[in-house]
Structure 1
Amino acid sequence: MTEAECRLWQELRDRTLDGIKFRRQMPVGKYVADFVCVEAGLIIEIDGSQYADSESDSILGAELKARGFRVLRFWNDDVLKDLNGVCDTIIAFVRDVALQPWR
């Protein structure tokens, strides 16, 4: 795991974040998601800039959406510089399944 993934996992593991259950490195079809909240149908991906607007990323997003998941993405820098903001956003998306990710 990257430094950003490790830091976020410390907040997500053992239902630490608002009592929400997350799994780490969970297979979803042929893909392995960074973090998954099955109950909310939410996948959280922590990305470096190499994934910005890539075609394969768009295809993957469509496949995961077809499986009933929303994919919430954060840059590594988001996690490292504003972990509280990232956690607040995750809680909002878990609690409100109508919210749709912006990227």
Structure 2
Amino acid sequence: MAHEPTLPRDTARNLRASATEAEQKLWSRLRTKQLDGFQFRRQYSIGPFFVDFICLEADLIVELDGSQHADQKEQDESRSAFLRSYGCRVLRFWNFDVISDVDSVVEQIAETLRRTPRRDKQRR
């Protein structure tokens, strides 16, 4: 039986459905324009990657890293470089930091957004 390719929309839907505790906790603070009116999307496709969270109008990507990322720093840097090539800034946080002090993480994201001019962004 031939395997049908998965559409990016389906992959994103599956990633959202299997979100980690840290992703759920941060999303509860980013969704519905709660952060200074900036709109975030989650599990957004850019090239071959799905980013955890993105604010299109600020070209800001937020990635959450679990313990497995401690051993894949080169891969993460390569991925971040690719995302920066699209004109995005990338903020990375450890899952532990989100779970233990989400307020601090949200404040760091908000501070980055305050220094960012807003742009009208359409889908990439």
TM-score by length of 2: 0.74
Identical-residue share of aligned pairs (%): 48
Question: Which residue number in structure 1 is paired with residue 31 of structure 2?
Answer: 13
Alpha-carbon offset, residue 69 of structure 1: 0.7
Question: Which residue number in structure 1 is paired with residue 43 of structure 2?
Answer: 25
Question: Which residue number in structure 2 is paired with residue 80 of structure 1?
Answer: 99
Query: Higher strand proportion, which one?
Result: 1
Question: Which residue number in structure 1 is paired with residue 86 of structure 2?
Answer: 67
Question: Which residue number in structure 1 is paired with residue 5 of structure 2?
Answer: none
Alpha-carbon offset, residue 18 of structure 1: 2.0
RMSD: 1.4
The reply on whether 1:37 has 2:55 as its aligned counterpart is: yes
The 1-side partners of 2:32 and 2:112 are apart by 19
Per-residue deviation, residues 65-97 of structure 1 (Å, max 9, x unmatched): 111011101101111111111111101111213
Q: Judge which range, 43-52 or 32-41, deviates more.
A: 43-52
Runs of 4+ in 1 over 6 A off after TM superposition: none
Compare CA radii of gyration and give the structure with the larger one: 2
Unaligned residue ranges in structure 2 (runs of 5+): 1-18, 118-124
